[in-house]
Structure 1
């Protein structure tokens, strides 16, 4: 029986050449049947795309924003976005390959994102928005120290860049964590 540990995660900033693979990763983590292999699927609430090449390029090219590529042994396993917004950072576009979800990668990636926001930007808190009906995902973030604010913003119904809603009660809830 082998006791070898998986190799360490490596973090780097996304570049244009990463766009196709990042789109595939994000889509696989959230939409369609492939996403059902993990626990972060939105397939029961939303159809259609989660992102597209233009959306990923926009994150890469936004000032005060970074799209972090997470690799293990040279293989893309996850990504997340950090955006510096004054005294806080916004965390988004978080995706872990479905077959690797539930193994602690997300916790490690989130901790690295929080560290970077605090140390590189001096951010006092991290903010994110989560679809309100994603109770299991919200509970995951609460266990990581995020608090529910009770602040909601409307879901962009009619804008297919965010998918095609299968329900009429979707909104985004703001979660916040002091860094």
Structure 2
């Protein structure tokens, strides 16, 4: 069975010993048994950004996506590791446009994650995320910093223009789902 407190302690040790790569290996190992993670955390009942651990160096969230929920393009300003334990996340990756169109982005790639999958994102990655399923999705997101305190950006979905990230709006969006 997945032991949350042990996972948190192992993430903290992995961060100190090997940074993002070590945290990714640890998270990937946990995701090899997504059913055990699901049992350990419990079946998701409502959408939410649930903090499991928060410090200046490391944030671990249980991210629960509502059915068919989409989050606009955003960055984290820090590396991230995502492990899906139930459902799925479809990520679109974005790149900044050249000088003449400063502040805007264009799609540059995509990656689908399903239960048992794990991926790492660099600190400069911009992505949007959709839960493509008609049910809740659960994923552990591990960040190399304080997710809630970092200065970040989001891009308006229609114009793709950059603006400051609004963490309170994001919390509300997840809570509604």
The two structures share one fold, judged by TM-score above 0.5: no
Q: Which one has more relative contact order, counting CA pairs under 8 Å at least 6 apart?
A: 2
TM-score where L is the length of structure 1: 0.28
TM-score where L is the length of structure 2: 0.28
Of Structure 1 and Structure 2, the greater strand share is in 2
